[in-house]
């Protein structure tokens, strides 16, 4: 009798397992289709939400572009940095030297500066932005310090004014002008290291 009960229970368990598998298969497929529909509905709802949101104010877009530019400038990412500068950009530094004209010339000066500098840090404060159609300007104060040759520290405080144009939906810098108000130069430093932040 025990053998019969064991055999019957084993067969019954097998049939129950098979029934569960067969019953779950259409449900799983149905659930998968439902998930696809839910995902598509969610994507459409997110797109509707994005289009219903008010556009970012242009002053905020300019401020974001300036912040991102300075971030890429500090880490030395030239390709990303180029997205924020026009090819015909004009750079005026705080030093008494001719302006740097054009992106290619700026990159050469920037790379020469980075070769002589380590541990640079830039802080931006008191930013003011004015937008007029597809043109804008931003002015801010900066504090910059870096370690130059022989481990000496150089520091600059000053003002920067940027002129930007909106080209193909992006704000790009066409003029970058800096003035150094105060600097601490513990010793003679290489000329490239005296260039203030942002290639100014």
Q: What is the pLDDT of residues 112-166, one digit of tens each?
A: 988 888 888 999 999 999 999 999 999 999 999 999 877 889 899 999 999 999 9
CB 113 within 8 A of CB 193: yes
Whole-number pLDDT of residue 37:
59
pLDDT in tens, 23-74: 333 444 444 455 555 667 776 766 666 566 677 799 999 999 999 999 999 9
pLDDT-derived band at 6 (thresholds 50, 70, 90) equals very low
Whole-number pLDDT of residue 30:
46
CB neighbour list of residue 61: distance below 8 Å, 6 or more residues apart: 171
CB 75 within 8 A of CB 163: no
Q: Buried (b) or exposed (e) across 73-103, using 16+ Cβ within 10 A?
A: beeeeeeebbebbbeebbbbbbeeeeebeeb
pLDDT-derived band at 105 (thresholds 50, 70, 90) equals very high
Distance of alpha carbon 195 from alpha carbon 98, whole angstroms: 12
- Compute the mean pLDDT over every residue in the chain, rounded to the nearest whole number: 78
Distance of alpha carbon 105 from alpha carbon 7, whole angstroms: 88
pTM score of the predicted model: 0.65
Pairing of strands 118-132, 100-101: unpaired
Arithmetic mean of pLDDT, 102-117:
93
Run of H or E residues at 158: strand 153-167
Q: Work out the widest C-alpha separation in the chain, in whole angstroms.
A: 107
pLDDT-derived band at 15 (thresholds 50, 70, 90) equals very low
Higher pLDDT, 153 or 198: 153
Residue-by-residue DSSP string for 9-68: HHHHHHHHHHHHHHHHHHHHHHHHHHHHHHHHHHHHHHHHHHHHSPPPPHHHHHHHHHHH
CB 176 within 8 A of CB 198: yes
């Amino acid at each position: 009798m025990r053998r019969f009960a064991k055999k019957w229970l084993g067969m019954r368990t097998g049939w129950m397992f098979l029934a569960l598998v067969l019953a779950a298969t259409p449900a799983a497929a149905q659930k998968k289709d439902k998930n696809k529909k839910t995902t598509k509905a969610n994507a459409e709802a997110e797109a509707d939400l994005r289009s219903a949101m008010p556009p970012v104010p242009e002053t905020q877009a300019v401020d974001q572009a300036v912040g991102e530019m300075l971030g890429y400038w500090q880490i030395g990412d030239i390709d990303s940095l180029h997205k924020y500068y026009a090819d015909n950009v004009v750079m005026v530094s705080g030093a008494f030297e001719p302006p740097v004209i054009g992106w290619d010339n700026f990159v050469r000066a920037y790379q020469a500066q980075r070769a002589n500098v380590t541990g640079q840090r830039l802080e931006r404060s008191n930013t003011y932005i004015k937008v007029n159609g597809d043109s804008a300007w931003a002015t801010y104060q900066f504090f910059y310090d870096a370690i130059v040759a022989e481990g000496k520290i150089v520091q600059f405080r000053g003002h920067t004014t940027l002129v930007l144009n909106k080209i193909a939906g992006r704000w790009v810098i066409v003029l970058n002008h800096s003035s150094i108000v105060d600097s601490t130069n513990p010793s003679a430093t290489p000329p490239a290291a005296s260039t203030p932040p942002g290639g100014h």
